[in-house]
Chains A and B, each alone.
Chain A
Amino acid sequence: MKKDKLVRISLIFLAVSFIFIMLVLPLLLVAKEALAKGFAVYANSLTEGIAVKAMILTLEATVAAVLFNTIFGVASAWLLTKYDFKGKTFLASIIDLPFAISPVVAGLFFIMLFGRMSPLYPFLQAEHIKIVFAIPGIILATIFVTLPFITRELVPVMEAQGRDEEEAAASMGADGFTIFRKITLPNIKWALLYGVTLCTARAMGEFGAVSVVSGHIRGKTNTLPLHIEILYNEYNFTAAFAVASVLVIFAIIILIVRNYIEWRSKKKISAV
């Protein structure tokens, strides 16, 4: 028992120090820089009109990306775990690939498809549809970089759970949606929640791909990360870090919401 305790303490110590050095220190630094010129300057850089617009745009793009990726994530994880078919490994790897593509290159994908060099461009011009250098492009780029998250979060859990329950239900004649809702969903809801949180966090923070398709128009197509870059590049160090801290705060809010959902459902279970 004594040995157990030792293992336990040293593992906790290892985990905590890893997170402290690799994660907490950089975040503290962000906070330190953000408040370097006092709270008034900090508050000022956040309430500035352009910063607020960037915040709204970031939230819009994030919500859209998370929504679409959730639908896709559930469908593709279901596909990858509930069936056997040829080319499954290939498909799984394709789904992962957006992670390996440099975000800048991902942005270029959409430029080549919807930008001036694309064969589609004359048509889009004629119809007055703007995709790149406008908000739809930003949403597309955000979806792209966060595409694999939910699938990747769900697959291991769904794999570990196997197919027995679903197969039993199917043999009793339940249709797909019912099976999903009654059997699969309760089993994967935590993984789904984690996937959505990760996807949200990453979508808010995305810089590279969005930077390529945005056009950087102040107050119009600047997301928060782009706004941060511009502040930094115009030698406004403090404001850049202040706005960056907002993204961290957003992420923390999401985590609190996630924990609240977990806590409430656990309470429900124990009440039953």
Chain B
Amino acid sequence: MAASKKIIPGFRFSLGITMFYLSLLFIIPMLAFILYSSGMGMDKFISVVTDERILHGYYVSFLCAFVAAAVNGFFGIILSWVLVRYDFPGRKILDGLIDLPFALPTAVAGIALTTLYAETGWLGQIFHELGIKSAFSPLGITIALIFVGIPFVTRNVQPVLRDLQPEAEEAARLFGASEFTIFKKVIFPELLNPLLTGFALAFARGIGEYGSVVFIAGNTPFETEIAPLLIMTKLEQFDYEGAAAVAIVMMLLSFMVLLTINGYQRYRLKKEGIAV
């Protein structure tokens, strides 16, 4: 790709920095990891990653991460809407709180959530009354993943919503469209890309999350055993190769999810570009 084709200068410069940084901090270390574990051979690799228990681990991780990301997507839209469009006492505080899940080390979050949702906890009691097992169940895993993923959707949607030009909205209002229709037809399409980004990030983060989940999961094989825990299990037996095999498959699966979502976003942008 020749830089001359680009109208805005700086293509090679930004490409240079991006590629250099990515290679140094991510690609090369990752290759070192894959290379180190490549000694195991295809047979072992396949037998490790198709083990029934490992497959179930993937299933639990992906399912819980998906549900958690969806919940965060739903509330993320509401949160950013409320934060950008409404003024009410405590808005600033609510806004400030959203980033906090990141600052809390995941293990602390895990311990706090488990205390909260165990049968003796403030919220666990309520669930217990209702006959629902909240901690030490897939529900508990999902709750932990919701916690670690709260900031993603809100923080992606919020800036876009804030910068949205009011003209289209006002025009629609002039034509007598209901608020809900305006949201659905005018605003939401603008928010879909950041929403998808936030969803993808929360989902990806959920798949790999270990620290907070391990306390609340219960870790029962074939029930609440997550894939990252299985990686730790392998490492604890000094089975670097087995751990790497599980990790590599997880990486590939997550990469595919990210690729799909990013691809869809590009597709939407392109379509819009033509329409405009």
- The residues of A with any CB-CB pair to B shorter than 8 Å are 4, 7-8, 11-12, 14-16, 18-19, 21-27, 29-30, 33, 68, 71-72, 75-76, 78-79, 82-83, 85-86, 88-105, 108-110, 112-113, 117-118, 140, 143-144, 147-148, 152-153, 155-157, 159-161, 163, 166-167, 170-171, 175-177, 179-180, 187, 190-191, 194, 197-198, 201-202, 204-208, 224-225, 228-229, 232, 240-241, 244, 247-248, 250-252, 254-256, 259
Contacts and interface: CB of A to CB of B under 8 A. Distances in A.
21 contacts: A8-B86, A12-B88, A18-B75, A26-B112, A75-B21, A78-B14, A79-B15, A94-B26, A100-B208, A103-B208, A104-B231, A104-B232, A108-B33, A109-B29, A144-B29, A147-B26, A175-B9, A190-B162, A194-B159, A247-B104, A251-B104
Contacts of B190: 160
Contacts of B97: 19, 23-24
A101 B10 CA distance: 31
B258 A75 contact: no
A93 B255 contact: yes
Contacts of A26: 104, 109, 112-113, 116, 147
A75 B18 contact: yes
B99 A157 contact: no
Contact of A208 (B36, B211, B258): B211
Nearest to B204: A100
A225 B83 CA distance: 31
Given A19-B97, A23-B147, A30 B108 contact: yes
Contact of A97 (B94, B115, B255): B255
Given A22-B147, A156-B194, A102 B228 contact: yes
Contacts of A15: 75, 78-79, 82-83, 94
B170 interface: no
A259 B179 CA distance: 30
B102 A152 contact: no
Given A8-B86, A33-B112, A68-B21, 16 more contacts: A11-B78, A15-B78, A18-B78, A22-B150, A29-B112, A76-B14, A94-B27, A108-B240, A112-B36, A143-B25, A144-B25, A176-B9, A228-B108, A248-B104, A250-B103, A259-B95
A250 to B, nearest CB: 7
B102 A205 contact: yes
B200 A96 contact: yes
A18 B76 CA distance: 10
A132 to B, nearest CB: 11
A22 B146 contact: yes
A130 B210 CA distance: 27
A19 B123 contact: no
Contacts of B130: none
Contacts of B194: 156
Given A167-B7, A244-B105, A144 B32 contact: no
Nearest to B228: A102
B67 to A, nearest CB: 14
A20 B111 CA distance: 18
Contacts of B33: 105, 108-109, 112-113
Contacts of B193: 156, 159-160
A76 B147 contact: no
Contact of B81 (A11, A144, A190, A198): A11
A191 to B, nearest CB: 4
B49 interface: no
A255 B99 CA distance: 8
Contacts of A7: 179
B201 A89 contact: no
A225 B32 contact: no
Given A15-B75, A93-B262, A144-B26, A156 B160 contact: yes
Contact of B107 (A76, A187, A232): A232
B108 A241 contact: yes
Contacts of A101: 208, 247, 250-251, 254
A179 B11 contact: no
B106 A208 contact: yes
B28 interface: yes
Given A22-B150, A79-B18, A99 B108 contact: no
A117 to B, nearest CB: 6
A96 B200 CA distance: 9
Given A93-B255, A232-B111, A14 B78 contact: yes
A29 B215 CA distance: 16
Interface string B201-234: 1001101111100000000000000011001100
Closest 6 pairs (CB-CB, A-B): A176-B10, A100-B254, A251-B103, A225-B105, A100-B204, A109-B29
B238 interface: no
Contacts of A98: 26
